[in-house]
Amino acid sequence: EQKKTFLPLLLESEGAVASCCITEEKGGSDTASFKTTARREGDHYILSGAKVPIINGGDAVFYVVWASSDTGRGRAGINAFIIPRGTPGVSVSGYHDKPGLRCAPTVTVSLDDVIVPKENLIGLPGSGYLLLMQTLDWGRAFFGAICVGLARAALEEAIVFAKKRVVVNRPIIKNQGVSFILAEMATEIDAARLLVWRDCRLMDLNEDYTRESSMAKLFASEAAARATSEGMMIMGQSGYLEPHLMAKFQRDAQGLRILEGTSQIQKMIIASQL
């Protein structure tokens, strides 16, 4: 019933979006320490707290919010709720100015005694933490795919420039100092792509993919950061001066190293699965 009600909203011609409300100001990677609470009263829950920074906040047609229904139970007390836009008590403030990923508005989403019917609880009571881990595992693979696309775009820009830029009567791509960098970039991007494909294949087979998802996200995000940085070096002032795409690519790549868990968090996850 929830899928029938809410998912069609994301398929509208104007391109509606949803918003995933996980992060809190002091929570960070400690996903079991939610300060946002969900108190059960009769046939509804009352949610209070704040989520920040939240991507698509203010533009979302609905929010998926994680909250603790019993702070004494830790992870077992975490639940996830669907909250439609316009629900009384939901407010958006503090649009954050970011160096990268500027196309996605990022805000603070505040919940002031928001009444949510029990029908909007996702899954069984207490299943929110498991749902969160599954959501992040999926998201890391897809963020890895975004990183592959970003790195590929940076590589293509750098190759076009290196072929056109002529110094001492020859294109700079003829110099090993440039061509070897491009070769390394191309190799890393293909490796990242294969890691993402492997992870998605495991998803299709309904097999465990937690480690592989973090591997894909870790390698692809670092590859994107290296590709955009090396691309900037190859292009020199042409890439550094605004409004060139390479400058935007580099800023976006740094954000992708943080979203869905930093590279250090991915290493922790991978190590725990060895």
Query: How far is it, in rounded angstroms, from Cα 116 to Cα 67?
Result: 12
Least confident range of 13-17, 65-69, 171-175:
13-17
- Per the CB < 8 A criterion, the answer to whether 105 and 156 are in contact is no
Q: Can you give the three-state secondary structure of 158-189, one letter per residue?
A: HHHHHHHCEECCEEHHHCHHHHHHHHHHHHHH
What is the reported pLDDT for 105? 87
Measured CA angle at 47 (ends 43, 49), to 5 deg: 175
Query: How far is it, in rounded angstroms, from Cα 36 to Cα 24?
Result: 8
Task: Please state the φ and ψ torsions of residue 246, each to the nearest 5 degrees.
Answer: -60, -35
Which residue in the list 212, 222, 230, 260 is annotated as catalytic?
Answer: 260
Task: Please state the φ and ψ torsions of residue 132, each to the nearest 5 degrees.
Answer: -65, -45
pLDDT interval class at 104 (50, 70, 90): confident
88 token code pair: 């009384």
* Segments in the chain forming alpha helices (H): 2-6, 128-164, 176-204, 210-235, 237-240, 245-256, 263-272
Mean pLDDT of 17-37: 82
According to DSSP, residue 213 is labeled H
What is the reported pLDDT for 31? 66
Mean pLDDT of 39-56: 92
The radius of gyration computed from the CA coordinates of the chain, to the nearest angstrom, equals 22
pLDDT interval class at 13 (50, 70, 90): confident
Cα–Cα nearest to 117, from 38, 233, 204, 222: 38
pLDDT interval class at 29 (50, 70, 90): low
* % of the chain exceeding 70 in pLDDT: 97
Residue type, position 46, single letter = I
- Any bridge partners for residue 49, and if so which? 111
Cα–Cα nearest to 36, from 79, 73, 86, 2: 79
Cα–Cα nearest to 18, from 69, 61, 51: 61
Angle of helix 210-235 relative to helix 263-272, nearest 10 degrees, comes to 150
Mean pLDDT of 121-133: 92
pLDDT interval class at 72 (50, 70, 90): low
Is pLDDT larger for residue 145 or for residue 126?
145
Mean pLDDT of 265-272: 95
Residue-by-residue DSSP string for 19-43: EEE---TTTTT-TT----EEEEETT
Identify the burial level of 58 via C-beta atoms within 10 angstroms of its C-beta, where 0-12 means exposed, 13-18 middle and 19 or more buried: middle
Active site residue 260: yes
